[in-house]
Amino acid sequence: MSINQLDEETINQIAAGEVIERPASVVKELIENSIDAGADEIDIVVADGGRKKIVVEDNGSGMSQDNAKRSILRHTTSKIKDYNDLWNIMTMGFRGEALSSIASVSQMDIVTKAGSSASGSCIRVEGGRIENVKSVASNQGTKIIVNNLFFNVPARKKFLKSRNYEQKNITDVVIKYGLIYTNKSFVLRNEEGILVEKPKTNSIGENITSIYGLDVGRETFPLRGEKISGYVVKPTINRSSRDYISVYVNKRFIKSKIVEDAILDAMKTLIFHGRFPIAVLNLEIEPDRLDVNVHPSKKIIKFTDENDVYWRVYESVKGGMKDADLFTTSSVKPAVQETFFDSTKNLENSGNSPSPSYFKKKDDIQGQLVCEQKEDYNIGVNILGQVHKTYIIIETKEGYSVIDQHAAEERVNYEKFKEQFTRGGIEKQELLGGFTIDLTAAEYSLLIENTEKLEQLGFGIEDFGQNCINVRKIPSSLDSDFELKDTLLSIVQNNFFDKKEEALKYMSCRASVKAGEELNNKQMRDLVNKLFKANNKYTCPHGRPTMLRYPLSKLEKDFKRVA
């Protein structure tokens, strides 16, 4: 066997494998180059999920003809000169590998004009080889056109997935940049129209509005911290995956479990287990305290001081929540919880004082419930009113009881769904004319792929094209328009189809009144009556109590009427 010296083309194709995995990686590298070139308008057009064509056009510095020719060679970069510069990187790129990699596995045109050049240049490259160079009229900036990605590497082409899948990945990349850069506009288009349109804004909060919509944008609060900027959406709007937590270091998108955990820990008491916030957070860290050169596509970086990062993020979220007065508006209110814990302690008259982690002590709850179950409520209870739009107070034969309105309705809905489900299917209601929902390309394809399964859970959806679906039927018990989109997405993202019990619990939660919603007398009475008829009226499907009893004897004791 002889040892061969690989030719430049093969070396480039091998290197390309590391940087360019799929169309979305091309989009990422080209956007980063545009950002590094100082562009503030970046337009992206893709065809066939980027497999056929990707165009990224910017109004940045542009390149002279000589530089443009050099840019597609391996290890050519204008961003660093030697290894020492690696510790001082403020640009997205520095390895000089992207353009050479993309060029070696596609048919690429570079149209570019530097501010100082009289005319622009158009350079045609095929499989890494320059085929043609000509002068053209053009505006300052750069337009890179990537045709037929992997046309000369069939093995890689074979690994590309469906058009929808590749498109989703591209959309996600554009969204990540769109969320963090305020003074840059991003537009992403495909054959069907505009998928992302993010204008220049004044804040990350405004970016969130333009990308996730007004309903979400309205609910954001800014983070408070030095060298940390960003916005978090109030926990009343939440998602079923971590994908909506976007973390950046010096505006470079990264995946960081440490940072995600810090955000989640700070919001722990305010968000249901298994639900995640929408957040966009940028950390400014001196380049010499980072090693960005860890991962080929630079998504993973090493923090020199992870502990410090964790606590800074944690405090910034806590501080933001405090400024936003979140504790008085959100569904779980520590102040209310404290009185609740105290009452429980006195009621049980036990020596050991429950801590705020009371909910975690399952035994205590069960003890409490056993004593509850002895009482048989008669249904004609007297409703005294609602406290903090969260708890219903009723007078009972023995004293009074406090009902958690959300937990109570959850229990009622859960039993109803369960019964319907075992009887053959969730009861549906037809929506007059349907309800159209605009989605991102990714969300759209996910829902369309699962149309049949959704039908079994009581949702009838129709493809309206152009990232839009029409919802024709929903379970009879659901009525919330706004939550519909999130409900559908959560079901498919969590693949609840294989976990029927989880699906039922989730849907009963969604169908239920929330803490913080005002109820009139009739609504309270209906809810209380239904709860009393439930098979298991004392806990919600997640195991938390639905009602707590406060007997007269306790009041008498507290007021020292009796010894």
Residues in contact with ligand ADP by the rule CB under 6 A: 29, 33-34, 36-37, 58, 60-63, 71, 76-79, 93-100, 142
Residue with Cβ nearer ligand ADP (20 or 504): 20
Residue with Cβ nearer ligand ADP (63 or 283): 63
Q: Which residues bind Mg ion (CB under 5 A)?
A: 33, 93, 98
Collect all residues with Cβ–Cβ distance below 8 Å to 291 and sequence separation of at least 6. Answer: 301, 302
Q: How far is the CB of 542 from Mg ion (least distance, A)?
A: 48
Q: How far is the CB of 238 from ligand ADP (least distance, A)?
A: 37
Residue nearest to ligand ADP (CB): 93
Residue with Cβ nearer ligand ADP (100 or 440): 100
Q: Which does 117 bind (CB under 5 to 8 A by kind): ligand ADP, Mg ion, none?
A: none
Q: Which does 166 bind (CB under 5 to 8 A by kind): Mg ion, ligand ADP, none?
A: none
Contact at 8 Å (CB) between 407 and 561?
Answer: no
Alpha helices by DSSP H, listed for 256-382, are 257-266, 306-323, 326-329, 334-348, 362-373
Residue with Cβ nearer ligand ADP (294 or 370): 294
Q: How far is the CB of 20 from Mg ion (least distance, A)?
A: 12
Q: How far is the CB of 77 from ligand ADP (least distance, A)?
A: 3
Q: How far is the CB of 282 from ligand ADP (least distance, A)?
A: 21
Q: Which does 96 bind (CB under 5 to 8 A by kind): ligand ADP, Mg ion, none?
A: ligand ADP
Residue with Cβ nearer ligand ADP (106 or 229): 106
Q: How far is the CB of 151 from ligand ADP (least distance, A)?
A: 20
Q: How far is the CB of 52 from ligand ADP (least distance, A)?
A: 21
Q: Which does 77 bind (CB under 5 to 8 A by kind): Mg ion, ligand ADP, none?
A: ligand ADP
User: What angle is formed at CA 103 by the lines to CA 102 and CA 107, rounded to 5 degrees?
Assistant: 110
Q: How far is the CB of 199 from ligand ADP (least distance, A)?
A: 21
Q: Which does 97 bind (CB under 5 to 8 A by kind): ligand ADP, Mg ion, none?
A: ligand ADP
User: What angle is formed at CA 410 by the lines to CA 409 and CA 414, rounded to 5 degrees?
Assistant: 115
Which residue pairs, CB below 8 angstroms and at least 24 apart, start in 355-360?
A: 359/544
Q: Which does 474 bind (CB under 5 to 8 A by kind): Mg ion, ligand ADP, none?
A: none
Task: State the SS3 of 197-228.
Answer: EECCCCCHHHHHHHHHCHHHHCCEEECCCCCE
Q: Which does 505 bind (CB under 5 to 8 A by kind): Mg ion, ligand ADP, none?
A: none
Closest by Cα among 62, 21, 60 to 43:
60
Residue with Cβ nearer ligand ADP (71 or 330): 71
Closest by Cα among 99, 91, 72 to 293:
91
Instruction: Collapse the DSSP code of 185 into the 3-class scheme (helix H, G, I; strand E, B; otherwise coil) and give the result.
Output: strand
SS3 content of the chain, % helix, strand, coil (to 5): 40, 25, 35
Tokens of 475: 């379970």
* CB-based burial, 455-476: b 16+ in 10 Å, e otherwise: eebbbbbeebeebebebbbbbe
Q: Which does 440 bind (CB under 5 to 8 A by kind): Mg ion, ligand ADP, none?
A: none
Q: What is the largest CA-CA distance in the chain?
A: 102
Residue with Cβ nearer ligand ADP (30 or 170): 30
Tokens of 550: 């406060």
